[in-house]
């Protein structure tokens, strides 16, 4: 058995403490991985796998490690960074190494640029039917807490998509598509959490608003401890806690976000073909994140919506694109500055944007929109920060230095020594060539041997006696001289001192800029808001959207409405439709498959949502009353992976609507009841529509293939029938995609089958079967019964006194005479 080297022994000892992570082990200019880590990394990173002493190994250069870490995180792996923590040149024996950072998805702010989604890491704990959640975005410097029912937490997770979730060992959470890690229970204890929170935020938990929110407090304490003391993540810049509250926003639950494909499509879960994609003309990651947040949290207050709309109206005429282009992710830059991790190029990027602020303020100075004036008010100017970075940080990409000449006298002197030495070496090389008569003589440097003279073997007979042999190669020899040794000492001493002094000066500059962290964050937030509003304005101009009129009278009126995503995908030929939806009305929409029912009901929901985020809308004109929530049950979004059938999902989502919608909500139902038998499905659809009409009284669009539902309009004045118009011509069906009053009298299912390419023999046989079925009266589905008849059937005569019977009879007579809508209780 081969003896284990001290370095391998050190690696194995460190790895034993981080078995669940890919360990990046620093060896000189590379991070090396060994054994199973190397086998995994070589596949994920597409790098060569080699062997040393029968150990699989691979490595990546330290200067490019960020990109490789990102790939490992994207593949779902945890990464531990093991650094050399002492100078190899002064080390006795094996260089001391320690793990200085553990990284999970969502915790790596050193990555080049943040994405369009928030990089959230979450903690979660449950007690019975309640749960506490803490969310931290290290890049944005935000901490958010929430406490509520389990289903609310799962809904929250589905919408925000945390990259990592920690929870007490033994607890489970529904699949959230995240890296999930179980942690020791003591991390979630209340007393421990109080201590962690007080130490980190410098305030008592009650002062942070956590009084009475014990689950949220415990989740926050565990998460802060996990980030600081388990991952060694930079979180010192996170100083405030906010609450994930629903007040002031219309509710969009995860099912609605999914059905309407707001930020992820139903097919692959990507942005392709989503509302977010077609609205996203943002130029900064902060603006994109603001847009995503606004789509998932529409405004509720009419005055705030009007303010946003006025701001978009102003920016439609004043394009901010030239001022925002090339800005970069300022939020992550500020976080890295506050954490002491920012690179010089990031300080330069911050400086360049700060120099634009006076121009942006001047451009928007006379903007007649209060919202823009408030946002611009947060764009503070920092001439001292600009000057500090401008004078201190080298902006020449070809310069080998970080700090500019003229910033520090001692540093300038050392640079002079270094630059003089470089000149001396070139002159020395030329002088030695001439003195020895060796035209190919070279003066070179490497980290192992320092400076040396290299001579090919063809000229070894010309070597002077004072040349001291240093190394023999296949085709050359390397030498040193006393003179070269002396200069080498000067150069290396200057290099070492330059690195040391530049590091100190750079840290001082970072600390000075970091002292402006709070106002810089306000600037970042303002820039994200302006970018988000500018994106809405660009879309409005390019696609001829109109400014909706926001009212509080209850109705939704749209003239020539268009589906924003379908219109964008078609480019031309989209058929617009009008909508007049009054308070409490239910529109029963019938028509064949492929006729456009589903597109229409989604269209109305999206137009309302667009108006409530402050966007112009795809229509000729629109009058919108803000709704308190948009609730949808659309399509057949199976949840089979969690053991739920299509019909169970459909009923759970329908139940959620019936239990939570209010008269100020907008409900969109598409084919409720189709997941079961015809009679069951019709009964459920019918009962659902009746319940909404009589109990909830919410504005509702109900697309259905059950034509029998159109008879509800005979009993309920709030029910209105519409159909998607179809033209028949020479045994062909033409879909006009236009919505007209009235109910459909045919399903046209066989025609749709014909259009889809079903063999002619099958189509003809289907026609024959349909004719047989329609000829049998006993196959006709029952129509809606009058409320008085329903009440009579429910009456138990054995339990009614003669006087009560007379009173009921009198009431039923009045209902029949007046045509009263509701069923008596």
Question: Three-class SS string for 596-665?
Answer: CHHHHHHHHHHHHHHHHCCCCECCCEEEECCCCEEEEECCCCCEHHHCECHHHHHHHHHHHHHHHCCCCC
651 and 604 part of one domain: yes
Could you give the CA distance from residue 580 to residue 623 in angstroms, rounded to a whole number?
9
d(CA 582, CA 624): 11
Q: Are residues 565 and 698 in the same domain?
A: yes
Tokens of 3: 């003896």
Least reliable range by pLDDT among 30-39, 125-134, 418-427, 559-568: 418-427
User: How many domains is the chain partitioned into structurally?
Assistant: 6
Binding-site annotation, residues: 591-598
Q: Tell me which residue of 45, 16, 13 sits closest to 30, measured CA to CA.
A: 45
Average pLDDT over residues 52-74: 90
793 and 766 fall within a common domain: no
Vertex 330: Cα angle to 326 and 333 (nearest 5): 120
Please give the Cα distance from 225 to 208 (Å, whole number). 17
Longest dimension (CA), the chain: 135
Q: State the angle between helix axes of 517-543 and 330-338 in degrees (0 to 180), rounded to the nearest 10.
A: 170
**Same-domain check for residues 232 and 290:** no
Looking at residue 507, its pLDDT comes to: 95
CA-closest candidate to residue 699, choices 583, 590, 588: 583
Residue holding tokens 């928030």?
A: 118
Residue corresponding to tokens 């000067």: 490
Which whole-number Å values give the CA distances from 819 to 13, 717, 783, 787, 811, in the listed order? 84, 10, 17, 9, 12
pTM of the model: 0.80
Residue 233 · residue 138 · CB < 8 Å: yes
Q: How confident is the model at residue 111 (pLDDT cuts 50, 70, 90)?
A: low
pLDDT at 118: 76
Q: How many residues can be counted in the chain?
A: 825
Residue 271 lies in a domain: no
Helix (H, G, I), strand (E, B) or coil at 727: strand
pLDDT on residue 593: 72
Output 419 or 378, whichever has higher pLDDT: 378
Task: Look at 212 and 621; give whichever has higher pLDDT.
Answer: 621
Q: pLDDT of 325-355, one tens digit each?
A: 989 899 999 999 998 989 999 999 999 999 9
The first and second tokens of residue 800, run together, are 């009614």
CB 109 within 8 Å of CB 208: no
Angle between helix axes 330-338 and 482-514 (nearest 10 degrees) is 110
Q: How many CB atoms are located within 10 Å of the residue 35 CB?
A: 14
CATH code: domain of residue 609: 3.40.50.300
Examine the domain organization and report whether 99 and 129 are in the same domain. no
Residue 156 within any structural domain of the chain: yes
CATH of residue 194: 3.30.420.110
- Angle (CA) 471-27-48 rounded to 5° is 95
Q: CA angle at residue 38 from 32 to 41, to 5 degrees?
A: 100
Whether residue 367 contacts residue 533, with contact meaning beta carbons closer than 8 Å, is answered with: no
For residues 803 and 751, state if they share a domain: no
Question: Are residues 31 and 168 both part of a single domain?
Answer: no
Give the CATH number of the domain where residue 45 resides: 3.40.1170.10
Closest CA to 182 of 195, 173, 193, 174: 173
Q: Which tens digit of pLDDT belongs to each residue from 269-289?
A: 889 999 999 999 999 999 999
616 and 735 share one domain: yes
CA distances from 262 to 25, 155, 256, 266, 657 (A): 42, 15, 8, 10, 19
Domain that holds residue 504: 409-511
**Lowest-confidence segment of 177-186, 307-316, 771-780 by average pLDDT:** 771-780
Q: Which residue among 488, 511, 534 closes a domain?
A: 511
Evaluate if residue 295 carries a pLDDT over 80.
yes
- Do the domain assignments include residue 171? yes
Residues 127 and 240 in one domain: yes
| Same domain membership, residue 374 and residue 520 | yes
492, 599: one domain: no
Strands (E), 199-276: 242-243, 251-252
Is 259 contained in some domain?
no
Return d(Cα 207, Cα 705) in angstroms, integer.
Answer: 56
Residue 253 lies in a domain: no
Binding residues for ATP: 591-598
Mean pLDDT, the chain, whole residue set: 87
Domain holding 535: CATH number? 1.10.1420.10
Whether 98 and 127 map to the same domain: the answer is no
Q: Residue 626 domain-assigned?
A: yes
Start-to-end Cα distance in the chain: 88
Q: Considering the domain boundaries, does residue 374 fall inside one?
A: yes
- Residue 504 placed within a domain: yes
Residue 616's φ and ψ, nearest 5 degrees, are -70, 165
Integer Cα distance of 61 and 706 in angstroms: 65
């Amino acid at each position: 058995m081969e003896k284990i080297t001290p370095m391998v022994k050190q690696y194995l000892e460190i790895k034993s403490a981080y078995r669940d992570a890919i360990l990046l082990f620093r060896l000189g200019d590379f991070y090396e991985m060994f054994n199973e880590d190397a086998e995994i990394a070589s596949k994920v990173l597409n790098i060569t796998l080699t062997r040393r002493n029968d150990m699989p190994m691979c490595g990546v250069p330290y200067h490019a490690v960020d990109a490789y870490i990102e790939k490992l995180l994207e593949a779902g792996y945890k990464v531990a960074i093991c650094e050399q923590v002492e100078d190899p040149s002064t080390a006795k024996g094996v260089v001391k190494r320690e793990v200085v950072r553990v990284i999970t998805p969502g915790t790596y702010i050193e990555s080049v640029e943040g994405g369009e989604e928030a990089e959230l890491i979450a903690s979660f704990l449950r007690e019975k039917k309640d749960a506490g959640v803490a969310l931290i975005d290290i890049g944005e410097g935000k901490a958010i807490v929430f406490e509520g029912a389990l289903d609310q937490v799962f809904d929250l997770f589905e919408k925000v998509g945390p990259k990592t979730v920690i929870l007490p060992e033994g607890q489970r959470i529904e699949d959230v598509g995240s890296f999930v890690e179980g942690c020791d229970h003591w991390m979630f204890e209340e007393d421990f959490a109080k201590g962690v929170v007080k130490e980190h935020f410098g305030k008592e938990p009650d002062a942070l608003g956590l009084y009475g929110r014990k689950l949220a407090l415990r989740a926050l304490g565990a998460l802060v401890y996990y980030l600081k003391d388990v991952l060694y993540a930079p979180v010192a810049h996170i100083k405030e806690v906010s609450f994930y509250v629903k007040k002031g926003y219309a509710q969009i639950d995860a099912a609605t976000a999914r059905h309407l494909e707001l930020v992820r499509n139903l097919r692959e879960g990507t942005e392709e073909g989503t509302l977010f994609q077609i609205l996203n003309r943002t130029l900064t990651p902060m603006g994109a994140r603001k847009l995503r947040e606004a789509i998932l949290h529409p405004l509720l207050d009419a005055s705030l919506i009007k303010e946003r709309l006025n701001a978009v109206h102003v920016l439609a005429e004043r394009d901010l694109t030239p001022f925002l282009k090339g800005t970069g992710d300022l939020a992550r830059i500020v976080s890295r500055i506050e954490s002491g991790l920012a690179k010089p190029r990031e300080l330069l990027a911050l400086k360049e944007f700060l120099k634009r602020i006076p121009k942006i303020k001047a451009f928007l100075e006379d903007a007649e929109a209060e919202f823009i004036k408030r946002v611009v008010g947060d764009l503070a100017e920092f001439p001292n920060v600009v000057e500090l970075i401008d004078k201190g940080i080298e902006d020449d990409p070809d310069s080998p230095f970080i700090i500019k000449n003229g910033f520090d006298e001692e540093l300038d002197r050392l640079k002079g020594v270094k630059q003089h030495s470089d000149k001396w070496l070139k002159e020395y090389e030329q002088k030695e060539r001439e003195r020895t008569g060796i035209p190919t003589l070279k003066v070179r440097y490497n980290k192992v041997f320092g400076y040396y003279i290299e001579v090919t073997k063809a000229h070894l007979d010309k070597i002077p006696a004072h040349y001291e042999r240093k190394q023999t190669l296949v085709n050359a020899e390397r030498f040193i001289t006393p003179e070269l040794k002396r200069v080498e000492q000067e150069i290396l001493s200057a290099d070492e001192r330059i690195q040391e002094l530049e590091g100190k000066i750079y840290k001082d500059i970072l600390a000075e800029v970091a002292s402006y962290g709070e106002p810089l964050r306000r600037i970042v937030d303002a820039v994200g808001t302006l970018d988000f509003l500018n994106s809405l304005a660009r879309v409005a101009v390019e696609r001829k959207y109109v400014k909706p009129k926001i009212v509080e009278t209850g109705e939704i009126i749209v003239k020539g409405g268009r589906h924003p995503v379908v219109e964008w995908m078609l480019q031309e030929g989209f058929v617009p439709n009008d909508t007049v939806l009054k308070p409490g009305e239910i529109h029963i929409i019938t028509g064949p498959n492929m006729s456009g029912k589903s597109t229409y009901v989604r269209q109305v929901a999206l137009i309302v949502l667009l108006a409530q985020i402050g966007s112009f809308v795809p229509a000729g004109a629109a009058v919108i009353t803000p709704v308190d929530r948009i609730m949808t049950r659309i399509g057949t979004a199976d949840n089979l992976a969690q053991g739920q059938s299509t019909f169970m999902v459909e009923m759970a989502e329908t139940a959620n609507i019936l239990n939570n919608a209010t008269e100020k909500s907008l409900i969109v139902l598409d084919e409720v009841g189709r997941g079961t038998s015809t009679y069951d499905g019709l009964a459920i659809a019918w009962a659902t529509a009746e319940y909404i009409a009589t109990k909830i009284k919410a504005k509702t669009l109900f697309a259905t293939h059950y034509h029998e539902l159109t008879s509800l309009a005979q009993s309920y004045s709030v029910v209105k029938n519409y159909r998607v118009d179809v033209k028949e011509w020479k045994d062909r069906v033409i879909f006009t995609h236009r919505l007209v009053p009235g109910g459909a009298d045919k399903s046209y299912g066989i025609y749709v089958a014909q259009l889809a390419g079903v063999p002619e023999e099958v189509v003809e046989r289907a026609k024959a079967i349909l004719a047989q079925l329609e000829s049998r009266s006993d196959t006709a589905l029952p129509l809606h019964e009058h409320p008085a008849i329903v009440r009579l059937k429910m009456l138990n005569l054995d339990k009614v006194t003669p006087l009560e019977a007379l009173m009921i009879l009198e009431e039923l007579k009045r209902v029949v005479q007046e045509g009263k809508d509701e069923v008596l209780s």
